[in-house]
Structure 1
Amino acid sequence: MKKGKMKLLTTLSAIVAVNSLLVACSSTKTDNKGATPAPSTAPSASSAPSASTAATKYPMQTSTQLSYWMELTGNLVGVKSANADVPFYQNWSKVTGVPIKWITAPPNQGKETLNVMLASGDLPDMIDYNFLGFPGGPEKAIKDGYILKLNDVIDKYAPNLKKYLKEHPEVDKMAKTDNGSYYAFPFIRGDEYLMVFQGPIIRKDWLDELGLQMPTTIDEWYTVLKTFKEKKGAAAPLSLVGLPRPFNESGNGAFVGAFGVTRGFYLDNGTIKFGPMQPGFKDYLANYRKWYAEGLLDKNLATADVKVLDANFVSGATGATVGNAGGGIGRWQPLIEAKDPKAVLAAAPYPVLKKGDTPQFGQRDFPFTAGGMVAITAKSKNVELAAKFLDFGYSTEGGMFFNFGTEGTSYKLENGYPKYTDLLMKNPDKLAPAQAMALHIRGNSGGPFIQDKRYIEQYLALQTQRDAVATWAKTNAAKTQLPPITPTPEESTEYAKIMTDIDTLVDEMSLKIVLGTEPLDAFEKYVDKMKSLKIERALEIQKAALDRYNKR
C-alpha cells in the first residue's frame, strides 16, 4: 500500500465529529470521462452565469449503471440491512431512469467502511458522506483525487441546484469552501421550522403519576431520575445512545450546556472556546459521575445503541433520554403505548442550573447541513449522468419524491396538499412512522434535496412532537454555535491530527471520570494533556477559519 494511502487509512479511521454544525461544499472541472485540473478558486453560484442550462427531462433514457455508497440510516436499523432492498432507493432509480448499484455500509460503521474503500482506490460514482470530517477537509479530498470539485459540473449539468443557490445567497455562502469550491450536492432545510428537532425526552405519564413537575434544572432532573428509580423501578432512568461516541448528546448541549459549555467548540461572546477544557466541563462530569454512582444513568452508557433504547423503553427500564421529535418520540411512543396505553413521551427543556434561565446551548441546524450531502468521486467515468441524477432532488418533481415518495403509495394529494398515507402513518406491519417513512422517502433522513416543511407538519403527527420543537427551540444556540466554517487543506490536515488525539482523550477522560475509575481531580491532568496535544493550535485554526467565513 502506498505511503499516502496508509496515512489516510490511519487518519480517517479516527475522523473527528467535533462540530456537527460545520457545513460546506466544493467542486472540480470535469467532463463525462472524469476529472481535469481546475484552478484553486472558482466563482460562487451567485457570481456564475445565469442559470440557462437546459433542464433534464426525467426519467432519462440510459442503460449506464452508476454506483452509490452510503451508510444505512438509523431508522432502517432492524427493518432493512441494505438500501437495494428499500423501496425508496428502488423508486429513485426508476423516476430518474438511472440504474444504480447501491452499496450500503453498516450503521455506525460509515467512516471505517469508507476508510477501507478509499484506501483500496476502488471508488463508486457517488459517496453520501460528510466530507467536512475528511482529514484535510473537502479541499484536500479534492486535491488528493477522491472527490470532484463541482463548480463546472453544477454550472453545466445541475440547473436546479444552480438556480436555488443563486436565489439563496445565505445558503450559497454555507455551501462552499473559502476558495469558493463546491464539493457535494447538499441537503438543504427549506424552512426555519425544520432546523430544530432534538432535545431531552421524558415519560410525562410518570411525572404526572408521581406528582412531579417537568424538570428544568439539573437539581430537578436529579430528583426526577431518583424518583423514577425508586418509585418506578427504572434500572436506567436516563439512557443515552453511546455510539459512535459516548455522551453524543453533549455535542448539542443537552445536560452539559447547563454548566456553560458543550463537548465541542462554541462561541462565547464571539470568542471560540473548546468545552472539555473549561471548568464547566469538570462540573458536568462531576454531575454525571454522581448520577452514575447512584444508578441514575444507564450502566451501558458507552455502548448503548438505538436498539438498546428500544428495549429499555419497552421494559420500563428507562424514563428519559435525548432524541429527535420524529425518530425519537415518533419511534418510542408506539412502543411504550403498546405495553401501556396511558404512556406519554414529551419534550423537556434543555436543563439549566438556575431556574428561569434561558439555555445557552441546544440543537439547531443550519439550512445547509453536513448530513446527507453527496459527492461525485474523481474515479467516476459518468460525471454528467451522476450530476443529472443528483440534480433531480432540487427539481419540483424531485422535491415531491424525496419528501413524500410515490403518489398513490406513500402520499395522496388532497386539495393540492401531499398527505401521507396510512402506509407511513399507521403502518400495517406496526412500524413506527419514522421507520415506515425511511422505507419510502428521505424526508426524515436527509439527502441531496430541499426538505419541505409539509413533511414535518405530518411527520410530527403527535401534538407532543409539535410541542417538542417549540420547547427545544427556546435556547440561545443561534448565538453560541459556530457557522459552517472550512479550514484550508493545510489547516484541516493539522487540525484533524490534533483533534483525533484530543477527541480520543476527551472520550477517555469522560468515561473514566464518570465511571469512577479515575478521581474527579484527574480533570486538570487531562486539560494539561490537551494543551500538550496542541488544543490551542486547534483553536487558532478555528478562529482563522471563522474570520475567513465572515469575509465571504
Structure 2
Amino acid sequence: MKKTKLIATLALAVSVLATGCGASGSSTGNSKAKGSNSSPGYGLTNVSFPLKSKVNLKFLTHSSALAPSDPNKKLIFQRFEKSTGVHIDWTNYTDDAFNDKRNLEIASGDLPDAIFDTNGLSDNDLLKYSSQGAIIPLDDLINKDMPNLKKILDANPKYKTMITAPDGHIYSLPWIEELGTGKDAIQALDDIPWINKKWLDKLGLPMPTTTDELEKDLLAFKNNAAKLGANVIPMSFMMNHQGEDPAMLLGAFGMGDNDDHYMVTNDKKVVYSTTQPGYKDGIKWLNKLQNEGLIDKEAFTQDWNTYVAKGSANRYGLYFTWDKANITGTSDSYVQLPPLKGPDGHINVPRSNGIGFERGRTVISSSNQNADLTAKWFDLCYVPVQSVQNNWGTYGDKSLQNIFKMTTEGNLKHLPLTGTAPVELRQKTSTGGPLAVLNSYYVHQTTKPDDAAWRLNILKTTYVPYMKATYNYPLVFMNSADQSQVTQLDTAVKTYTERMKAQWILKGGIDADWNSYLTKMDQSGVTKILAIKQKYIDSYFKAQK
C-alpha cells in the first residue's frame, strides 16, 4: 500500500515538473495529418498531463533484437502512457537495420512526428535536415515547454553549447550520461588490457611493469602451454576495433594512440597520434611480438563472436576490452595490466575523446503539428528519476528481472544482477532516447551501476595517475562546410593509417616507409583536418574563459 502511494506521488511530481499547474489541454480543432507516418493536429493548448482525452503521436525508433518489437510492451512506456494520456504509435526497427530505414523514411518526405532515438544522427545530418526543413528548431520549445531540460542546460552551459548549431539554433535533444568527469570519466580509457593472473601465478611470474617484462611473460605463456593446460594464445586483440585494439600499450613509447587518433597536447595543440615519433617505436615493438609468435594469428581479421569464444575458453594471456565480463567473465583469473614503462622509462596512458554525450539523439520533424505536446512529453524524459530508468531499466516489473528497487524515499537503488548480463537486461527494459543522468544524481536519485562503479575504481587507481594529457578533443559543432570537409578527409586518412598500422605490425617495414607514409598522410588531408580542428578547439577554449 505504501509503495503504491509512493508511485502515485512520483507520477504526480513528474506531471507538475513537466507542465506546472493548468488545464489538461483544450482543443482549437483538429487538422489532417501530413502523411501516413505522422499524426493529425489536435489543436491542444495549455497542455498538462494527463490529458482529458487520449491522443496518439507517431515516433520512429530502434531497439535491440532482444527487446520487444513493440516498445509499448516495455513497462516504462506503459507508465508513460498512463501518466500522460498520450499513446505512441511506434515504428521500431532492430539496431542493425535502423539507419538505412531511417534514411529512407526521411528521404521519402513522409516523416514521423519525431525520431525518439536517431541512433546518432551526425552533425552533417542535423545541418542538412534542418536546412531542408525536415526537422524543426527546438529553442523556443525548450524555453517554453521543457522546464526540466532547460534547468539542466542552465546549470550546465557546456551542454547547451554542445547542442547549439553554428546558426545559433538547437535542432536536437541530447542524451547525457555522466559517470565521472575529465580524466576521471568512465570513457577516459576504452581499451583496458586484461592479463591472465592465474597463469602468472602458476608460472611464478610477477606482474610486469615494463614492456620488456611483458614480452618475457608472453614468451613464458607460449613456451609453457602444456603446463598451463590450454590452447595458449599469448596476446589477442581486434585490430582497429575501438576498445579491443592494443593502442593503450603504445603509451609506453610516447603519446600513444586512441580510437579516432586525435589528441591534444598540454599546450592545446591538436595532433594526429599515428604521425608522432613515439608511435613508430611502439609499432616496431608490436611487430617484434608478432615475429616471436606472441600475437593471435586471427587478431587482424577476427570478429566479435570469435574474439569472445576464445576468451570464454580462457585461452588468452593478454587481451583488450572495455569490461572483462564481456569476454572472460568476472572471475579473478584476469586482472587489469598496469601502465608499462617503455625502453626509456616513459610511461603514459593515452586518453580517449569519449564522452557520455550525444547531441543528435532526438529530433522533431516538420510534419509534427503537435510540437508543444511532443516537447512536453519529451521533457518528462529529463525528470531525474525518469532519466535514470530510461538509461538503464526500471523497477516493479513482474515479468522481467528488475534493474532497480524503488526505496521509500523515492530513490532508485541498483539491484545485484547475479547470473545476468547487465547489457542484455538493459537492452530488454530500458528505452534510450533523450535523457540526462548527471553526477549529482548519484547522491540522491540513484546509485551507480555496479559494473560502472567497479570500472571507475580501476581507472582511478590504476590508469588515471599516468594520464599525462590534460585535455582531450571536445565535442564541437562545426559549420556545414567544415564538417563536410573533415568527414570526407578523415575517412581517407583513417583508412590509410589503420591499414598501414596493421601491415607494419604483421610484416614490419615502418622505418623504411615512414617518410613516404608522412607524405601520403599529408596528401590525404591530415594537415587540413588538424587546421580545421585547431580553429574550433581555439574557439572552445576561448569560450571557457
Shorter chain as denominator, the TM-score bin is 0.7 to 0.9
Amino acid corresponding to residue 176 of structure 2 in structure 1: I
1:319 is paired with a residue whose SS is strand
- Pick one of 380, 391, 401 that aligns with 2:379: 391
- Pick one of 251, 258, 272 that aligns with 2:252: 258
Amino acid corresponding to residue 265 of structure 1 in structure 2: Y
Which structure 2 residue ranges, 5 or more long, are not aligned? 1-30, 35-44, 82-86
* Larger Rg belongs to: 2
CA distance in 2, matches of 1:285, 1:261: 10
- Pick one of 328, 333, 340 that aligns with 1:344: 333
Larger displacement relative to structure 2 (209-218 or 152-161):
209-218
Matched, 1:313 2:311: yes
Shift of 1:142: 2.5
Classify 1:463/1:250 alpha carbon distance in 2 versus 1 (closer, same or farther; 3 Å): closer
Shift of 1:297: 2.8
Aligned to 1:287: 285
Matched, 1:92 2:76: yes
Classify 1:103/1:465 alpha carbon distance in 2 versus 1 (closer, same or farther; 3 Å): same
Matched, 1:532 2:516: no
- Pick one of 457, 471, 485 that aligns with 1:494: 485
- Where does 1:400-415 land on structure 2 (aligned, <5 Å)? 400-403=388-391, 405-409=393-397, 410=402, 411-414=404-407
Matched, 1:207 2:207: no
CA distance in 1, matches of 2:53, 2:211: 60
RMSD between aligned residues: 3.9
Higher relative CO (Cα under 8 Å, sequence separation at least 6) belongs to 1
Amino acid corresponding to residue 161 of structure 1 in structure 2: L
Aligned to 2:58: 66
Aligned to 1:220: 213
CA distance in 1, matches of 2:353, 2:180: 10
Aligned to 1:166: 154
Shift of 1:362: 2.7
Shift of 1:165: 0.7
Shift of 1:159: 1.7
CA distance in 2, matches of 1:447, 1:413: 22
1:322 is paired with a residue whose SS is strand
Contact in 2 for aligned 1:129/1:374 (Cα 8 Å): yes
2:286 is paired with a residue whose SS is helix
1:361 is paired with a residue whose SS is coil
Aligned to 1:277: 275
- Pick one of 430, 433, 441 that aligns with 2:422: 433
CA distance in 2, matches of 1:115, 1:528: 37
Classify 1:297/1:202 alpha carbon distance in 2 versus 1 (closer, same or farther; 3 Å): same
2:321 is paired with a residue whose SS is strand
Classify 1:131/1:316 alpha carbon distance in 2 versus 1 (closer, same or farther; 3 Å): closer
Aligned to 1:237: 234
Amino acid corresponding to residue 96 of structure 1 in structure 2: F
2:487 is paired with a residue whose SS is helix
Classify 1:356/1:277 alpha carbon distance in 2 versus 1 (closer, same or farther; 3 Å): closer
Matched, 1:196 2:186: yes
Once the two structures are superposed, residues 123-163 of structure 1 have per-residue CA deviations (whole angstroms, 9 ceiling, x without a partner) of: 552163575744x4643442244544322232233221111
Classify 1:404/1:352 alpha carbon distance in 2 versus 1 (closer, same or farther; 3 Å): same
Contact in 2 for aligned 1:362/1:475 (Cα 8 Å): no
Amino acid corresponding to residue 249 of structure 2 in structure 1: F
Which structure 1 residue ranges, 5 or more long, are not aligned? 1-31, 36-52, 73-79, 338-342
Aligned to 2:413: 419
TM-score, normalising length: structure 1: 0.73
Matched, 1:248 2:233: no
- What percentage of residue pairs aligned between the two structures are identical? 22
Shift of 1:181: 3.3
Aligned residues: 474
Contact in 2 for aligned 1:127/1:374 (Cα 8 Å): yes
Matched, 1:156 2:144: yes
Aligned to 1:484: 475
Once the two structures are superposed, residues 477-523 of structure 1 have per-residue CA deviations (whole angstroms, 9 ceiling, x without a partner) of: 65141122222211111111111211221222222222328765234
TM-score, normalising length: structure 2: 0.74
2:90 is paired with a residue whose SS is strand
